[in-house]
Chains A and B, each alone.
Chain A
Amino acid sequence: MNLKAYLKKTILNFFIIITIIFALIFILLKTFENEFYKRIADIEIAHAFNLVYKIRQIIDSKETEKEKNRLLNYLISNDVKYIYVIKKYKNKLRYIYDGSPLSQRAIYFQPFEPVNKKLWQKLFISKSPVFETNKKANGIWLTFLYPILKQNKIDKIIVIDISLEAYNKFKNLLHLFNKLFLIISIIVFSIIILMNFFMFRLYKEQFESFIDPLTKTFNRKILETIEKDNLQNDIVAIFDIDNFKKINDTYGHNAGDIVLKQLVNIIKKHIRDYDYLIRYGGEEFVLLLKRLNKKYAVKKIEQIFEAVRKTPIDIGQQKINITISGGIHLEPYKEKNLLEAIKKADQELYLAKKNGKNRFYIYSESIDNKIFNLNDIIESIEKGNVTIYLQPILNVKTNKIEKFEALARIYNNNKIYLPCNFINEIKKTNIYRDFTSIILDLVFNCITHLQKEISINFFAEDFNDEKFINIIEEKAQKYNNVLNYLTLEILENEKIENINELSEHLKKLREKKIKISIDDFGSDYSNLNYLIYIKPDYIKIDSSIVKFVKNEESQKIIKSIVLLAKEFNAKTIAEFVEDKESLEILKTLKVDYIQGYYISKPLPLDKIKEIYLNNSISA
């Protein structure tokens, strides 16, 4: 949920809570008030009943009418406003006695007009005391009617009017209580406001830590907060800007930043507030489309691709068009977690890039036929459970160990994985870059310790990957004093695409004194014209040839490769040498270096140091 949505929700919740609180307070006050008035009415009625006894004593006495009125007047108090006695005479009510002060006293037999006729009707029907409270009457709050019966007929009616002052006396008390309630309500209200304010601040701070400062999208930290359970009906996609390095190199990093921002703007136009757009890496974005039909999601992503293609981006000096590549996982909830789903989508992104960019591929579970637990490998790399073993390489002429080949190993739960187990799987993911970085650090660490040449293998296509080149450049800067000890071996197990681009990249590496070697020369995709583009320092003769070195045919090939290498100023290395006889033959064939179990199996750095450093590194 973004900040705006959270704010909306908070305000809505706040108003609901406030409304409920005030509604409750209002109902409570109203109920209390009604109950309060009922109680004080009861008190006043009890008071009126007491008065009735005294009034009856007065009116039944043998005093004169004037004296009776005077005596009744003694019963008038702050609470009792009027006391008078009414008699019905020829269907008309008339005053008989009136205890009011002289100025307000009714004359004997003066007509009396009841205001509330219903109350009087009730009295005549029930022939029992009745009362009515009426706050609107002029100065009167409660009217109490008491019938005096004679032969079961109403002879006289005692009327007692309780003043509004009596009511107000209690009302003031109630108002005091209301004020107290109001103050409590204001305090509660303030606490709720403060709580909401602090909660919002807390959320805002937390929210901001999830925001990428450049693009204002989420950063990858947000992924930790998204639970797998919430991914049902969600779709995850990963995007990457095609040739972004070129944009940075050609137009500068500011232009690159503009491109990133503009791309975000374009994507945001096509997604909803509650979708997640996450800057996953430099120019990589993850898009989590929430609660979206699969078909519609694919359509939506097509629209985004189209919009990116068609929208020129103004980078200041000029407008440029960019394209993106992407991978989509339509059922991320099936994965162990969101990161796993992203990795699957990332594999598709890799394929999209490899197959010409400006396209997206959708991940399909059916083709995910892995033979080992990729998660274990990824977890191991993330934890740094990576090491390298070094296999010594013997200089035939000097009979000394002059070089080593670094071989990566991953260990997890007492298992050690060789690169052949996992490399093809992880090379389609971002983790491969992390792996490359870790391996290079380990290699440079060994170089620092041994001060000897160490070679490490990489795929030819790696050298066409901008990110890989970036890693190499980054490491070159870090370890620039020992770069001359590093040899990068190019595996020729696949056809090399964009050989020109690769050649350019190798040229730059050579300028940094990094040596280049061709691995597995003479088999699979080996192509002689690669020698022109790669210009290797070393040519490693493929094991499939060396294995049969005792055969005359193999010897002829090796001899030719040695001659060819010399023509290109490259040294030759024969690997998989497993016995003395092979070694001797290779010596006669003038191979420069020998590598294999006959010399030594791959060993960890500690062993290497122990064996070779103490013995001047001789075979």
Chain B
Amino acid sequence: MRVLRYLLILIIATIIYAGDVNKIKAEIIENISMLYIKKHPIYIFIKSNYFNKTKKYLQKNYYFYIVNNCNKADICFVDSYPKNIKGKIIFLTSYLSYLKNKNAAGAFFWQKGRPTIIFNKQFIINHHIKIPKEYEDFVE
């Protein structure tokens, strides 16, 4: 019986694990958003293959609203910098896109099973955003 239970736990852990990565991604999005937006609820727009599955976790949090248009959002997580959008906090989910768009607030992407976060130093200075010490390593 204990062996059966042990095997069952292994299976469940494997199933849960699949959802865990997206949960971690959602939590990082939440943290980044709360660093940049000092109001609530925070409207978030996500258009990225990496983060589409995080929406269901963000929707559970009353602090955030997922919107389907970057214009309506306070912060956007997108693969490439959207055209005709100004004054929005844009996080790019690709390092290459980030390198091409210096207006982006930063980059957040998932590569080789690891998250990479970059906060645009110029953007932070321009928008007087205060970054806590523990996140200072991500500023560049």
Contact = CB atoms under 8 A, between A and B. Distances in A.
A113 B99 contact: no
Interface of A: 22-23, 25-26, 29, 81-82, 84, 92, 100, 104, 106-107, 110-115, 136-140, 161, 175, 178, 181-182, 185
A138 B21 contact: yes
A136 B115 CA distance: 14
B38 interface: no
30 contacts: A23-B2, A25-B3, A26-B2, A26-B6, A29-B6, A81-B112, A84-B112, A92-B137, A92-B140, A100-B112, A106-B95, A107-B95, A110-B95, A111-B116, A111-B138, A112-B116, A113-B115, A113-B116, A113-B138, A114-B114, A115-B114, A115-B115, A137-B114, A139-B113, A161-B112, A175-B7, A181-B3, A182-B3, A182-B7, A185-B3
A140 B113 contact: yes
Contacts of B138: 111, 113
B48 to A, nearest CB: 14
Q: Which residue among B21, B111, B112 has the maximum number of chain A CB atoms within 10 Å of its CB?
A: B112
For the complex of A and B, the 7 pairs showing the least CB-CB separation, nearest first, are: A138-B113, A22-B2, A140-B113, A113-B116, A110-B95, A82-B112, A115-B114
B113 A111 contact: no
Interface of B: 1-4, 6-7, 17, 20-21, 95-96, 99, 110-118, 137-138, 140
Q: Which residue among B4, B111, B117 has the maximum number of chain A CB atoms within 10 Å of its CB?
A: B111
Contacts of A23: 2
Contact of B99 (A25, A107, A114, A178): A107
Given A138-B114, A182-B3, 5 more contacts: A29-B3, A29-B6, A84-B112, A113-B116, A140-B112
A136 B20 contact: yes
Nearest to A90: B140
B14 to A, nearest CB: 9
Contacts of A112: 116
Contacts of A185: 3
A111 B3 contact: no
B3 A113 contact: no
Given A22-B2, A26-B2, A106 B7 contact: no
A104 B3 contact: no
A106 B110 CA distance: 11
Contacts of B96: 107
A348 to B, nearest CB: 57
Contacts of A111: 95, 116, 118, 138, 140
A138 B115 CA distance: 10
Given A25-B3, A178-B7, A106 B111 contact: yes
A237 B53 CA distance: 82
Nearest to A134: B113
B128 to A, nearest CB: 24
A136 B17 contact: yes
Contacts of A107: 95-96, 99
Contact of B2 (A25, A92, A178): A25
Nearest to A159: B112
A84 B113 CA distance: 13
Contacts of B111: 104, 106
B114 A113 contact: yes
Contacts of A182: 3-4, 7
Contact of A137 (B2, B95, B113): B113
Nearest to B114: A115
A114 B113 CA distance: 10
A134 to B, nearest CB: 9
A338 B37 CA distance: 93
B3 to A, nearest CB: 5
Contacts of A25: 2-3
Q: Which residue among B2, B21, B99, B117 has the maximum number of chain A CB atoms within 10 Å of its CB?
A: B2
Nearest to A106: B111
A569 B4 CA distance: 97
A181 B2 CA distance: 12
B81 to A, nearest CB: 16
A137 B21 CA distance: 8
B80 to A, nearest CB: 15
Q: Which residue among A23, A81, A111 has the maximum number of chain B CB atoms within 10 Å of its CB?
A: A111
A113 B95 contact: no
Contacts of B2: 22-23, 25-26
A55 to B, nearest CB: 16
Contacts of B21: 138
A390 B6 CA distance: 87
B103 to A, nearest CB: 19
A22 B117 contact: no
Contacts of B6: 26, 29
A234 B117 CA distance: 82
Contacts of A81: 112
A75 to B, nearest CB: 15
Q: Which residue among A104, A138, A161 has the maximum number of chain B CB atoms within 10 Å of its CB?
A: A138
Contacts of A175: 7
Contacts of B115: 113, 115
Contacts of B112: 81-82, 84, 100, 104, 106, 140, 161
A137 B24 CA distance: 11
A22 B3 contact: yes
B10 to A, nearest CB: 9
B115 to A, nearest CB: 6
A416 to B, nearest CB: 71
A332 B2 CA distance: 50
A565 B6 CA distance: 101
Nearest to A26: B2
Given A25-B2, A178-B7, A161 B140 contact: no
A451 B6 CA distance: 89
B11 to A, nearest CB: 10
Contacts of A138: 21, 110, 113-114
A140 B95 CA distance: 21
A110 to B, nearest CB: 5
Contacts of A82: 112
A25 B116 CA distance: 43
Contacts of B118: 111
B98 to A, nearest CB: 9
A175 B140 CA distance: 47
Contacts of B1: 22
Contact of A26 (B3, B95, B99): B3
A185 B3 CA distance: 9
B117 A113 contact: yes
A185 B117 CA distance: 50
Contacts of A115: 113-115
A175 B6 CA distance: 12
A131 to B, nearest CB: 15
A458 to B, nearest CB: 71
